[in-house]
Amino acid sequence: MKKHSARVAPLSACNTPVLTLTKVEGEDRPRENVVGTADGAAVGGAGAESGGGKRRLRCCLRITAVQVRKALWGVAMIVCVCSSWAGSTQLAKLTFKKYDAPFTLTWFATSWNCLFFPLYYVGHLCKSPERQTPRQRFRECCRFFGDDGLTPKVFLKKVAPFGVLWTLTNYLYLQALRKINSTDVSVLFCCNKAFVFLLSWIVLRDRFMGVRIVAAILAIAGIVMMTYADGFHSHSVIGITLVVASASTSALYKVLFKLVLGSAKFGEAALFLTLIGGANFVFISFVPVILYFTRVEYFDSPESIPWGCLCGVAVLLLAFNILVNFGIAITYPTLISLGIVLSVPVNAMVDLYTCEIDFNTVRLIAVFIICLGFLMLLLPEDWDQGLIQLATKLRKREQPAEVAGEAGTSSGLNWSRRTRTSMSTFAH
Protein backbone atom coordinates (compact mmCIF):
# COMPACT_ATOMS: atom_id res chain seq x y z
CA MET A 1 0.00 0.00 0.00
CA LYS A 2 1.16 3.49 -0.67
CA LYS A 3 1.80 5.69 2.27
CA HIS A 4 -0.56 8.44 1.14
CA SER A 5 -3.54 6.73 -0.45
CA ALA A 6 -7.17 7.65 0.08
CA ARG A 7 -8.96 4.90 1.92
CA VAL A 8 -12.64 4.39 2.64
CA ALA A 9 -14.67 1.66 4.30
CA PRO A 10 -17.82 0.80 2.29
CA LEU A 11 -20.92 1.14 4.40
CA SER A 12 -24.52 0.18 4.44
CA ALA A 13 -27.32 2.65 3.88
CA CYS A 14 -27.21 6.02 5.63
CA ASN A 15 -23.73 5.69 7.05
CA THR A 16 -20.81 8.03 6.82
CA PRO A 17 -17.55 6.47 5.69
CA VAL A 18 -14.66 5.62 7.98
CA LEU A 19 -11.84 7.51 6.32
CA THR A 20 -8.14 8.08 6.39
CA LEU A 21 -7.80 10.92 3.92
CA THR A 22 -4.70 11.83 1.98
CA LYS A 23 -3.13 15.24 2.24
CA VAL A 24 -4.28 17.64 -0.43
CA GLU A 25 -1.65 18.48 -2.99
CA GLY A 26 0.20 21.62 -2.03
CA GLU A 27 -0.89 21.37 1.58
CA ASP A 28 2.68 21.05 2.83
CA ARG A 29 4.20 23.54 0.42
CA PRO A 30 2.96 26.72 2.10
CA ARG A 31 4.79 25.81 5.29
CA GLU A 32 8.01 25.18 3.39
CA ASN A 33 7.62 28.45 1.55
CA VAL A 34 6.97 30.32 4.76
CA VAL A 35 10.10 28.88 6.31
CA GLY A 36 12.08 29.63 3.17
CA THR A 37 10.93 33.22 3.07
CA ALA A 38 11.83 33.70 6.71
CA ASP A 39 15.34 32.43 6.09
CA GLY A 40 15.61 34.54 2.96
CA ALA A 41 14.53 37.60 4.86
CA ALA A 42 17.22 37.05 7.43
CA VAL A 43 19.87 36.70 4.74
CA GLY A 44 18.75 38.74 1.77
CA GLY A 45 17.16 41.75 3.41
CA ALA A 46 14.27 43.78 2.00
CA GLY A 47 14.34 42.17 -1.47
CA ALA A 48 13.95 38.72 0.00
CA GLU A 49 11.13 39.99 2.23
CA SER A 50 9.13 41.26 -0.73
CA GLY A 51 9.71 38.05 -2.72
CA GLY A 52 8.83 35.92 0.31
CA GLY A 53 5.68 37.95 0.89
CA LYS A 54 4.56 37.36 -2.69
CA ARG A 55 5.21 33.63 -2.44
CA ARG A 56 3.41 33.46 0.89
CA LEU A 57 0.41 35.33 -0.55
CA ARG A 58 0.35 33.04 -3.60
CA CYS A 59 0.37 29.93 -1.42
CA CYS A 60 -2.38 31.29 0.82
CA LEU A 61 -4.51 32.05 -2.24
CA ARG A 62 -3.90 28.54 -3.55
CA ILE A 63 -5.00 26.96 -0.26
CA THR A 64 -8.05 29.20 -0.11
CA ALA A 65 -9.04 28.25 -3.67
CA VAL A 66 -8.79 24.53 -2.84
CA GLN A 67 -10.87 24.96 0.30
CA VAL A 68 -13.49 27.04 -1.50
CA ARG A 69 -13.73 24.46 -4.27
CA LYS A 70 -14.18 21.62 -1.75
CA ALA A 71 -16.79 23.67 0.11
CA LEU A 72 -18.75 24.30 -3.10
CA TRP A 73 -18.59 20.62 -3.97
CA GLY A 74 -19.72 19.97 -0.41
CA VAL A 75 -22.86 22.08 -0.88
CA ALA A 76 -23.70 20.13 -4.02
CA MET A 77 -22.97 16.87 -2.17
CA ILE A 78 -25.29 17.85 0.69
CA VAL A 79 -28.14 18.44 -1.76
CA CYS A 80 -27.50 15.19 -3.64
CA VAL A 81 -27.12 13.02 -0.52
CA CYS A 82 -30.21 14.53 1.09
CA SER A 83 -32.29 14.18 -2.09
CA SER A 84 -31.22 10.59 -2.82
CA TRP A 85 -31.78 9.33 0.74
CA ALA A 86 -35.08 11.14 1.34
CA GLY A 87 -36.24 10.28 -2.19
CA SER A 88 -35.52 6.57 -1.79
CA THR A 89 -37.34 6.53 1.56
CA GLN A 90 -40.44 8.27 0.22
CA LEU A 91 -40.48 6.23 -2.99
CA ALA A 92 -40.17 2.98 -1.02
CA LYS A 93 -43.11 4.10 1.12
CA LEU A 94 -45.11 4.74 -2.07
CA THR A 95 -44.07 1.37 -3.53
CA PHE A 96 -45.53 -0.53 -0.58
CA LYS A 97 -48.95 0.96 -1.33
CA LYS A 98 -48.86 -0.73 -4.73
CA TYR A 99 -46.68 -3.79 -4.06
CA ASP A 100 -46.15 -4.84 -0.45
CA ALA A 101 -42.89 -6.80 -0.79
CA PRO A 102 -40.07 -5.46 1.43
CA PHE A 103 -37.71 -8.41 0.95
CA THR A 104 -38.15 -8.46 -2.82
CA LEU A 105 -37.43 -4.75 -2.90
CA THR A 106 -34.34 -5.28 -0.73
CA TRP A 107 -33.11 -8.07 -3.01
CA PHE A 108 -33.81 -6.05 -6.15
CA ALA A 109 -32.06 -2.89 -4.89
CA THR A 110 -29.04 -4.77 -3.50
CA SER A 111 -28.53 -6.55 -6.82
CA TRP A 112 -27.84 -3.16 -8.39
CA ASN A 113 -24.61 -3.04 -6.37
CA CYS A 114 -23.11 -5.11 -9.19
CA LEU A 115 -22.71 -1.80 -11.05
CA PHE A 116 -20.22 -0.38 -8.54
CA PHE A 117 -17.04 -1.84 -10.02
CA PRO A 118 -17.99 -1.17 -13.69
CA LEU A 119 -18.77 2.45 -12.82
CA TYR A 120 -15.51 2.74 -10.91
CA TYR A 121 -13.58 1.27 -13.85
CA VAL A 122 -15.11 3.82 -16.22
CA GLY A 123 -13.94 6.58 -13.88
CA HIS A 124 -10.52 4.93 -13.70
CA LEU A 125 -10.20 5.01 -17.49
CA CYS A 126 -11.19 8.67 -17.62
CA LYS A 127 -8.89 9.89 -14.83
CA SER A 128 -5.94 7.56 -14.35
CA PRO A 129 -2.92 7.97 -16.67
CA GLU A 130 -2.17 4.23 -16.35
CA ARG A 131 -5.03 2.49 -18.08
CA GLN A 132 -5.35 -1.12 -17.03
CA THR A 133 -7.60 -3.79 -18.48
CA PRO A 134 -10.62 -4.83 -16.38
CA ARG A 135 -8.90 -8.11 -15.49
CA GLN A 136 -5.71 -6.35 -14.36
CA ARG A 137 -7.65 -3.86 -12.28
CA PHE A 138 -9.75 -6.65 -10.80
CA ARG A 139 -6.67 -8.64 -9.77
CA GLU A 140 -5.03 -5.59 -8.25
CA CYS A 141 -8.13 -4.80 -6.20
CA CYS A 142 -8.37 -8.44 -5.09
CA ARG A 143 -5.11 -7.99 -3.17
CA PHE A 144 -7.25 -6.24 -0.59
CA PHE A 145 -8.40 -9.66 0.62
CA GLY A 146 -4.86 -10.99 1.12
CA ASP A 147 -1.93 -12.43 -0.79
CA ASP A 148 -4.05 -15.24 -2.24
CA GLY A 149 -6.62 -12.80 -3.58
CA LEU A 150 -10.31 -13.67 -3.72
CA THR A 151 -10.70 -17.38 -2.96
CA PRO A 152 -13.90 -19.29 -2.01
CA LYS A 153 -12.67 -19.47 1.59
CA VAL A 154 -12.00 -15.72 1.71
CA PHE A 155 -15.39 -15.04 0.12
CA LEU A 156 -17.25 -17.09 2.73
CA LYS A 157 -15.22 -15.63 5.58
CA LYS A 158 -14.84 -11.95 4.62
CA VAL A 159 -17.61 -11.13 2.14
CA ALA A 160 -20.66 -13.31 2.88
CA PRO A 161 -21.18 -12.10 6.50
CA PHE A 162 -21.20 -8.48 5.37
CA GLY A 163 -23.66 -9.35 2.61
CA VAL A 164 -26.00 -10.79 5.24
CA LEU A 165 -25.65 -7.66 7.39
CA TRP A 166 -26.25 -5.42 4.36
CA THR A 167 -29.44 -7.29 3.40
CA LEU A 168 -30.66 -7.42 6.99
CA THR A 169 -30.07 -3.68 7.49
CA ASN A 170 -32.06 -2.68 4.43
CA TYR A 171 -34.81 -5.25 5.01
CA LEU A 172 -35.41 -4.11 8.59
CA TYR A 173 -35.42 -0.48 7.44
CA LEU A 174 -38.06 -1.19 4.79
CA GLN A 175 -40.12 -3.23 7.23
CA ALA A 176 -40.09 -0.26 9.62
CA LEU A 177 -41.39 1.97 6.81
CA ARG A 178 -44.46 -0.29 6.59
CA LYS A 179 -45.22 0.28 10.28
CA ILE A 180 -44.46 3.96 11.01
CA ASN A 181 -44.02 7.20 9.07
CA SER A 182 -40.84 7.98 7.13
CA THR A 183 -39.86 10.90 9.40
CA ASP A 184 -39.62 8.69 12.47
CA VAL A 185 -37.76 6.02 10.51
CA SER A 186 -35.18 8.42 9.10
CA VAL A 187 -34.52 10.20 12.39
CA LEU A 188 -34.29 6.98 14.41
CA PHE A 189 -31.88 5.49 11.88
CA CYS A 190 -29.53 8.41 12.57
CA CYS A 191 -28.90 6.72 15.94
CA ASN A 192 -26.66 4.24 14.11
CA LYS A 193 -23.78 6.69 14.46
CA ALA A 194 -24.13 6.56 18.25
CA PHE A 195 -24.17 2.74 18.10
CA VAL A 196 -21.03 2.82 15.96
CA PHE A 197 -19.25 4.89 18.59
CA LEU A 198 -20.31 2.58 21.44
CA LEU A 199 -19.24 -0.56 19.55
CA SER A 200 -15.97 1.03 18.43
CA TRP A 201 -15.23 2.05 22.00
CA ILE A 202 -15.88 -1.48 23.26
CA VAL A 203 -14.56 -3.63 20.39
CA LEU A 204 -11.95 -1.46 18.65
CA ARG A 205 -10.75 0.31 21.82
CA ASP A 206 -11.27 3.71 20.24
CA ARG A 207 -10.54 6.86 22.20
CA PHE A 208 -13.03 7.71 24.92
CA MET A 209 -14.79 11.03 24.33
CA GLY A 210 -17.21 12.48 26.85
CA VAL A 211 -19.10 14.49 24.23
CA ARG A 212 -19.82 11.31 22.25
CA ILE A 213 -21.06 9.52 25.35
CA VAL A 214 -23.44 12.43 25.84
CA ALA A 215 -24.50 12.11 22.19
CA ALA A 216 -25.17 8.38 22.65
CA ILE A 217 -27.27 9.11 25.74
CA LEU A 218 -29.24 11.71 23.76
CA ALA A 219 -29.86 9.16 21.01
CA ILE A 220 -31.21 6.61 23.49
CA ALA A 221 -33.35 9.27 25.18
CA GLY A 222 -34.71 10.28 21.77
CA ILE A 223 -35.69 6.67 21.02
CA VAL A 224 -37.63 6.44 24.30
CA MET A 225 -39.34 9.78 23.71
CA MET A 226 -40.25 8.79 20.15
CA THR A 227 -41.94 5.67 21.51
CA TYR A 228 -43.75 7.75 24.13
CA ALA A 229 -44.94 10.22 21.48
CA ASP A 230 -47.24 7.56 19.98
CA GLY A 231 -48.47 6.32 23.35
CA PHE A 232 -46.58 2.99 23.31
CA HIS A 233 -48.99 1.43 20.81
CA SER A 234 -47.97 -2.03 19.62
CA HIS A 235 -47.86 -0.96 15.97
CA SER A 236 -45.55 1.95 16.78
CA VAL A 237 -43.36 -0.05 19.16
CA ILE A 238 -42.80 -2.73 16.52
CA GLY A 239 -41.85 -0.13 13.91
CA ILE A 240 -39.44 1.63 16.25
CA THR A 241 -37.91 -1.70 17.26
CA LEU A 242 -37.37 -2.60 13.61
CA VAL A 243 -35.62 0.66 12.72
CA VAL A 244 -33.45 0.53 15.86
CA ALA A 245 -32.49 -3.05 14.92
CA SER A 246 -31.66 -1.82 11.42
CA ALA A 247 -29.42 0.92 12.87
CA SER A 248 -27.75 -1.67 15.11
CA THR A 249 -26.95 -4.06 12.24
CA SER A 250 -25.64 -1.11 10.23
CA ALA A 251 -23.32 -0.16 13.09
CA LEU A 252 -22.22 -3.79 13.45
CA TYR A 253 -21.41 -3.84 9.72
CA LYS A 254 -19.13 -0.80 10.07
CA VAL A 255 -17.31 -1.97 13.18
CA LEU A 256 -16.77 -5.52 11.89
CA PHE A 257 -15.50 -4.18 8.57
CA LYS A 258 -12.97 -2.05 10.42
CA LEU A 259 -12.01 -4.99 12.63
CA VAL A 260 -11.75 -7.67 9.93
CA LEU A 261 -10.74 -5.78 6.78
CA GLY A 262 -9.49 -2.42 8.03
CA SER A 263 -9.97 0.14 5.26
CA ALA A 264 -10.04 -0.02 1.49
CA LYS A 265 -9.06 2.10 -1.48
CA PHE A 266 -11.78 3.30 -3.80
CA GLY A 267 -11.29 0.44 -6.26
CA GLU A 268 -11.24 -2.11 -3.47
CA ALA A 269 -14.41 -0.65 -1.96
CA ALA A 270 -16.13 -0.75 -5.36
CA LEU A 271 -15.10 -4.38 -5.82
CA PHE A 272 -16.33 -5.28 -2.34
CA LEU A 273 -19.75 -3.71 -2.92
CA THR A 274 -19.98 -5.39 -6.33
CA LEU A 275 -19.29 -8.76 -4.71
CA ILE A 276 -22.06 -8.11 -2.20
CA GLY A 277 -24.48 -7.33 -5.03
CA GLY A 278 -23.39 -10.38 -7.04
CA ALA A 279 -23.66 -12.70 -4.05
CA ASN A 280 -27.10 -11.30 -3.31
CA PHE A 281 -28.25 -12.00 -6.87
CA VAL A 282 -26.77 -15.51 -7.07
CA PHE A 283 -27.39 -16.92 -3.60
CA ILE A 284 -30.52 -15.11 -2.33
CA SER A 285 -32.67 -15.11 -5.46
CA PHE A 286 -34.49 -18.21 -4.26
CA VAL A 287 -35.97 -16.29 -1.27
CA PRO A 288 -38.26 -13.98 -3.34
CA VAL A 289 -39.36 -17.07 -5.29
CA ILE A 290 -40.31 -18.88 -2.06
CA LEU A 291 -42.11 -15.78 -0.79
CA TYR A 292 -44.07 -15.62 -4.04
CA PHE A 293 -45.26 -19.23 -3.97
CA THR A 294 -46.12 -18.99 -0.27
CA ARG A 295 -48.10 -15.82 -1.12
CA VAL A 296 -46.21 -13.77 1.46
CA GLU A 297 -45.06 -11.33 -1.24
CA TYR A 298 -47.42 -12.21 -4.06
CA PHE A 299 -48.25 -10.43 -7.32
CA ASP A 300 -50.90 -11.28 -9.91
CA SER A 301 -48.76 -10.73 -12.99
CA PRO A 302 -45.46 -9.06 -13.91
CA GLU A 303 -47.46 -6.16 -15.35
CA SER A 304 -48.98 -5.44 -11.93
CA ILE A 305 -45.55 -4.82 -10.40
CA PRO A 306 -44.68 -1.09 -10.22
CA TRP A 307 -41.38 -1.45 -12.05
CA GLY A 308 -40.92 2.31 -12.19
CA CYS A 309 -41.01 2.60 -8.40
CA LEU A 310 -38.77 -0.44 -7.90
CA CYS A 311 -36.15 0.87 -10.34
CA GLY A 312 -36.44 4.35 -8.84
CA VAL A 313 -35.71 3.08 -5.34
CA ALA A 314 -32.79 0.99 -6.63
CA VAL A 315 -31.29 3.90 -8.58
CA LEU A 316 -31.62 6.34 -5.67
CA LEU A 317 -30.05 3.87 -3.22
CA LEU A 318 -27.23 3.19 -5.67
CA ALA A 319 -26.64 6.92 -6.09
CA PHE A 320 -26.76 7.44 -2.33
CA ASN A 321 -24.18 4.73 -1.64
CA ILE A 322 -21.90 6.04 -4.40
CA LEU A 323 -22.06 9.55 -2.94
CA VAL A 324 -21.51 8.37 0.64
CA ASN A 325 -18.63 6.00 -0.12
CA PHE A 326 -16.80 7.96 -2.81
CA GLY A 327 -17.88 11.57 -2.24
CA ILE A 328 -14.91 12.17 0.07
CA ALA A 329 -12.72 12.36 -3.03
CA ILE A 330 -14.07 15.87 -3.73
CA THR A 331 -15.31 17.23 -0.40
CA TYR A 332 -15.24 16.86 3.39
CA PRO A 333 -16.86 13.81 5.09
CA THR A 334 -18.66 16.06 7.59
CA LEU A 335 -20.60 17.74 4.78
CA ILE A 336 -21.76 14.33 3.54
CA SER A 337 -23.02 13.56 7.03
CA LEU A 338 -24.92 16.86 7.08
CA GLY A 339 -26.73 15.74 3.94
CA ILE A 340 -27.91 12.64 5.80
CA VAL A 341 -29.27 14.52 8.81
CA LEU A 342 -30.93 17.13 6.57
CA SER A 343 -33.04 14.37 5.02
CA VAL A 344 -35.02 14.33 8.28
CA PRO A 345 -36.71 17.75 7.77
CA VAL A 346 -37.28 16.88 4.10
CA ASN A 347 -39.14 13.71 5.07
CA ALA A 348 -41.00 15.68 7.73
CA MET A 349 -42.21 18.21 5.17
CA VAL A 350 -43.44 15.43 2.87
CA ASP A 351 -45.19 13.62 5.73
CA LEU A 352 -46.77 16.86 6.89
CA TYR A 353 -48.02 17.56 3.37
CA THR A 354 -49.51 14.06 3.05
CA CYS A 355 -50.97 14.23 6.60
CA GLU A 356 -49.21 11.04 7.73
CA ILE A 357 -47.73 12.46 10.91
CA ASP A 358 -48.80 14.38 13.99
CA PHE A 359 -46.05 16.71 15.21
CA ASN A 360 -46.79 16.87 18.91
CA THR A 361 -44.38 18.42 21.40
CA VAL A 362 -42.83 15.12 22.50
CA ARG A 363 -42.08 14.05 18.92
CA LEU A 364 -40.50 17.42 18.08
CA ILE A 365 -38.27 17.22 21.17
CA ALA A 366 -37.29 13.64 20.30
CA VAL A 367 -36.37 14.61 16.73
CA PHE A 368 -34.34 17.58 17.99
CA ILE A 369 -32.49 15.47 20.58
CA ILE A 370 -31.55 12.73 18.11
CA CYS A 371 -30.39 15.22 15.46
CA LEU A 372 -28.37 17.10 18.09
CA GLY A 373 -26.71 13.86 19.16
CA PHE A 374 -25.92 13.06 15.52
CA LEU A 375 -24.29 16.47 15.02
CA MET A 376 -22.29 16.10 18.26
CA LEU A 377 -20.88 12.83 16.95
CA LEU A 378 -19.51 14.71 13.94
CA LEU A 379 -17.12 16.68 16.15
CA PRO A 380 -13.48 15.72 15.53
CA GLU A 381 -11.49 13.96 18.21
CA ASP A 382 -9.35 17.03 18.92
CA TRP A 383 -12.22 19.52 18.99
CA ASP A 384 -11.49 20.49 22.62
CA GLN A 385 -7.82 21.16 21.83
CA GLY A 386 -8.90 23.30 18.89
CA LEU A 387 -11.10 25.40 21.17
CA ILE A 388 -8.22 25.81 23.62
CA GLN A 389 -5.85 26.91 20.84
CA LEU A 390 -8.44 29.34 19.50
CA ALA A 391 -8.95 30.85 22.96
CA THR A 392 -5.18 31.12 23.40
CA LYS A 393 -4.80 32.94 20.08
CA LEU A 394 -7.59 35.36 20.97
CA ARG A 395 -5.91 36.14 24.30
CA LYS A 396 -2.59 36.76 22.57
CA ARG A 397 -4.24 39.19 20.19
CA GLU A 398 -5.90 41.07 23.04
CA GLN A 399 -2.74 41.29 25.17
CA PRO A 400 -0.64 43.40 22.71
CA ALA A 401 -3.50 45.89 22.39
CA GLU A 402 -3.77 46.17 26.15
CA VAL A 403 0.01 46.53 26.47
CA ALA A 404 0.04 49.19 23.78
CA GLY A 405 -2.79 51.01 25.51
CA GLU A 406 -0.99 50.90 28.84
CA ALA A 407 2.23 52.08 27.19
CA GLY A 408 0.42 54.98 25.56
CA THR A 409 -1.19 55.94 28.86
CA SER A 410 2.12 55.80 30.74
CA SER A 411 3.90 57.87 28.08
CA GLY A 412 1.09 60.43 28.23
CA LEU A 413 1.46 60.65 31.99
CA ASN A 414 5.21 61.08 31.69
CA TRP A 415 4.76 63.79 29.08
CA SER A 416 2.26 65.65 31.29
CA ARG A 417 4.61 65.38 34.25
CA ARG A 418 7.50 66.77 32.23
CA THR A 419 5.28 69.59 30.96
CA ARG A 420 4.16 70.53 34.44
CA THR A 421 7.74 70.52 35.68
CA SER A 422 8.99 72.72 32.88
CA MET A 423 6.09 75.10 33.32
CA SER A 424 6.71 75.37 37.03
CA THR A 425 10.39 76.04 36.41
CA PHE A 426 9.55 78.73 33.88
CA ALA A 427 7.16 80.32 36.36
CA HIS A 428 9.86 80.51 38.97
Residue 264 in 3-state DSSP? strand
**pLDDT higher than 70, residue 16:** no
Q: What single-letter DSSP state applies at residue 327?
A: G
Average pLDDT, the chain: 78
**pLDDT higher than 80, residue 278:** yes
pLDDT for 109 = 95
**pLDDT higher than 70, residue 353:** yes
Length of the chain: 428
Task: Give residue-wise pLDDT tens across range 215-233.
Answer: 888 888 888 888 887 766 7
Angle of CA points 14, 17, 19, to nearest 5°:
170
Helix (H) or strand (E) holding 65: helix 46-98
> Is the CB of residue 148 less than 8 Å from the CB of residue 158?
no
Instruction: Name every residue whose Cβ is closer than 8 Å to that of residue 364 and which is 6 or more positions away in sequence.
Output: none
**pLDDT higher than 80, residue 191:** yes
pLDDT for 262 = 84
Q: Please compute Rg for the chain using Cα positions.
A: 29
CB crowding 99-125: b at 16 or more within 10 Å, else e:
bebbbbbbbbbbbbbbbbbeebbeebe
Task: Give residue-wise pLDDT tens across range 386-412.
Answer: 666 767 777 777 766 555 555 555 444
Mean pLDDT of 360-384: 82
**pLDDT higher than 70, residue 44:** no
